[in-house]
Amino acid sequence: MFNKVVVANRGAVASRIIRALRTMGIRSVAVFSDADADLPYLKEADEAYRIGGPHAKDSYLNQEAILAVIKETKADAVHPGYGFLSENPAFARQVEQAGATFIGPSSRYMEAMAHKSEARKLAARYGMPTGAGSDVLGDAEVEIVSEARRIGYPVLVKPAAGGGGIGMIPAYDEDELIKAVARARSLANRSFSSSQVYLEKYMERPRHIEFQMLADRQGNVCHLFERDCSLQRRHQKIIEESPAPCISREEIGKMADTITEVVRRIGYDNIGTTEFLRDQEGSYSFLEMNTRLQVEHAVTEEVTGIDLVRAQIESAAGKRLSDIIRQPVAVKGHAIEARIYAEDPLQFIPSPGKLLVFRPPGGEAIRVETGYAEGNTVTTYYDPMIAKVIACGDSRQEAVKRLVESLQNFEISGIKTNIPFLLFALASEEYQQGSIYTGLTNELVNRMKQTAEGIKNG
């Protein structure tokens, strides 16, 4: 097992990893930018090192600075968390060349899954359910139009090197298609330094279902069931839960077994998540595989009892899956996570500022993950997520009730948050009934605006 691990991240995930390392008796090394120098989890780490200025490129994306910390502290492993360098194969190789272990899958799997179009082809070759799509598009309009006709409108234009929903644009006819391709290429080039895009069949009112996978270095793979992440804003998840409501356990079991066999045949060797869109008839289409810990990992931890961060570390250290998970895994109860963002609840525009009051809720079956404390400042330099609240219950109804109560009791002032929208969404008839889909947020925002306008004019 490792002796000392550099936590190459910030905020809630850094705090979570440091906590896991402490329970495992492993020394932790935190890194921080100038903007994060007073965050509370830095005191929880055994050591903490400044790695640069507030901009991510100068700190959390500064590979040389992090590698220097590895060398100075004589750390034997690096945990990248999620975001930043967590899916960067070049960084993973540099860590290994420095004599340390990258806590994640081997770099070849990160490379294989980083290019979304190529990942789809690889997954399909091994038998993963994959909907209609194209290879990377060329420049000729006639070929682009031909591919869209073959797939069938509507289609979704997607960056091949993308993520986080950036640059994903639907097109319902040829006129929209050409404009969407041009815009998506521009956004992709600006965001990912690659203008490559491809097409997928665009599903109407789909569910976003993902399966948590865990593998070891000896070729063993298991699944830890599913999460429903259908409630999203700008293609980014805001509420996640497990089990997925209104889907039979038989359907989930068959899908999970199929995916496990595909991931095993590919040879995958650490934690990962396979993401799918599910249409209203129950057909699945592979989206991507995230080769890292997910933001929403706590949902799976709560219903399975498996510490995913610990499991990921043990797998990277060479433990066999049978030694990491010692009993059959089953889903018990229900868990729901809500992401708390420092942003306007209707416009989803970041709301930076000082946390004049920051008092997370407590109570039975409530878990809060955060990297902030009262008096800290939420800056404009990073993602505006400031906390995650996870509520559990014997039933979905009980978990929803506890989540609503905890959000109502989360005291925050000095900034705006998305809590009013989360409460509105959780109270909606669609959410209460489990009739959720990826475009529901837009409808709920419009309803919330109308409600607010009605009260204003009341």
Q: Is the peptide bond before 243 cis (omega within 30 degrees of 0)?
A: yes
**Nearest CA-CA partner of 207 in 435, 429, 438, 425:** 438
To which H or E segment does residue 214 belong?
Answer: strand 207-215
What is d(CA 290, CA 82) in angstroms, rounded to the nearest whole number? 10
Identify how many contiguous H helices and E strands the chain contains and give both numbers: 16, 20
Distances (CA, A) of 102 to 91, 94, 122, 169, 220: 9, 9, 24, 34, 19
CB atoms near residue 439 (< 10 Å): 14
292 catalytically annotated: yes
Please, are residues 30 and 47 in contact by the beta-carbon 8 Å criterion? yes
Angle, vertex CA 194, rays to CA 193 and CA 199, nearest 5: 145
**Nearest CA-CA partner of 270 in 214, 324, 308:** 214
**Residue 50, class by beta-carbon neighbours within 10 Å (0-12 exposed, 13-18 middle, 19+ buried)?**
middle
Q: Is the peptide bond before 154 cis (omega within 30 degrees of 0)?
A: yes
**Nearest CA-CA partner of 400 in 409, 410, 388, 391:** 391
Catalytic residue among 120, 185, 233, 292: 292
Stated length of the chain? 458
What is d(CA 234, CA 160) in angstroms, rounded to the nearest whole number? 18
Residues with catalytic roles: 292
